[in-house]
């Protein structure tokens, strides 16, 4: 009787790790016990698997009799061992399990192949390829459009920059001209202030002066400056 996969000990020596699984005996063996087992005449053709992969193969054996399934019961449509054929499935029609599986496999593959080669499936597969091609074309179109927009943007930017530079230059030129006029106005204003200041000084001198001849000459001089 095979042990639980969690125990995983050799069922012969009960000490070493059971790394080999005999498919015919449904037992775990260590490498040494496997060699001894295969030397026995009746066990010489037994099949072994690595115990890690063998843990999932318990369905190969009859759970009632711990023997390999060798037939398919046609009536019950289940795999059975040799003992089952004379007990729970006695009198039922049997078929070789390997031949039955091979036939079912071929029938399934033929049916699958027929399904996969229908116009609908082929059209679906082709549409997938077309969609992939469309996606590539879409990406290329988007990239081309973006590059075109960027080029147009550069041209527009250059034009705008040129107009902006011209406008700034015009403003600066007008500003310089206005500053010249402003400086001239400021100079005239300052000159007028100085002249007014000098007149007030002369006014004070005239009011207090007692020199008649000097006043006469000063007044004539000032009258001439008014005319200028």
Each residue of 142-170: pLDDT tens digit? 999 999 999 999 999 999 999 999 999 99
Instruction: Give the pLDDT confidence score for residue 115 in this predicted structure.
Output: 79
* Domain co-membership, 191 together with 94: no
CA 74 to chain centroid, in Å, comes to 54
Percent of the chain with pLDDT over 70: 87
- Is 113 within a domain? no
* Domain co-membership, 68 together with 17: no
* Domain co-membership, 197 together with 129: yes
Residue 64 tokens read as 């009632």
* Domain co-membership, 137 together with 212: yes
* Domain co-membership, 211 together with 147: yes
Residue 116 tokens read as 């996969």
- Is 23 within a domain? yes
Sorted by sequence, the CB contacts under 8 Å of residue 17 that are 6+ apart come out as 8, 9, 10, 30
Contact (Cβ atoms closer than 8 angstroms) between residue 29 and residue 21: yes
- Is 9 within a domain? yes
* Domain co-membership, 92 together with 144: no
Q: Is the pLDDT of residue 179 over 90?
A: yes
Of 105, 128, 163, the one marking the end of a domain is: 105
Instruction: Give the pLDDT confidence score for residue 68 in this predicted structure.
Output: 84
* Domain co-membership, 40 together with 13: yes
* Domain co-membership, 38 together with 68: no
Q: Is the pLDDT of residue 212 over 70?
A: yes
Q: Is the pLDDT of residue 88 over 50?
A: yes
Q: Is the pLDDT of residue 135 over 80?
A: yes
* Domain co-membership, 98 together with 197: no
Q: Which residue range forms the structural domain that includes residue 90?
A: 62-105
Domain count, the chain: 3
Contact (Cβ atoms closer than 8 angstroms) between residue 28 and residue 3: yes
């Amino acid at each position: 009787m095979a042990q639980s996969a969690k125990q995983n000990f050799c069922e012969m020596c009960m000490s070493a790790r059971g790394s080999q699984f005999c498919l015919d005996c449904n037992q775990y063996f260590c490498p040494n016990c496997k060699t001894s087992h295969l030397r026995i005449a009746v066990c010489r053709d037994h099949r072994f698997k690595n115990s890690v992969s063998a843990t999932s193969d318990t369905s190969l054996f009859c759970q009632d009799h711990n023997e390999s399934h060798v037939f398919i019961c046609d009536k019950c449509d289940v795999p059975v061992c040799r003992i089952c054929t004379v007990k729970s499935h006695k009198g039922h029609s049997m078929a070789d399990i390997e031949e039955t599986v091979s036939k079912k496999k071929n029938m399934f593959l033929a049916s699958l192949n027929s399904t996969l080669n229908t116009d609908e499936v082929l059209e679906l597969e082709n549409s997938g390829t077309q969609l992939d091609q469309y996606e590539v074309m879409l990406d290329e179109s988007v990239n081309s459009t973006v590059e075109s927009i960027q080029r147009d943007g550069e041209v527009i930017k250059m034009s705008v920059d040129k107009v902006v530079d011209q406008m700034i230059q015009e403003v600066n030129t007008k500003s310089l001209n206005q500053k010249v006029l402003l400086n001239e106005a400021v100079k005239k204003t300052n000159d007028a202030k100085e002249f007014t200041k000098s007149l007030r000084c002369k006014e004070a001198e005239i009011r207090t002066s007692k020199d008649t001849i000097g006043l006469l000459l000063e007044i004539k001089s000032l009258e001439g400056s008014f005319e200028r």
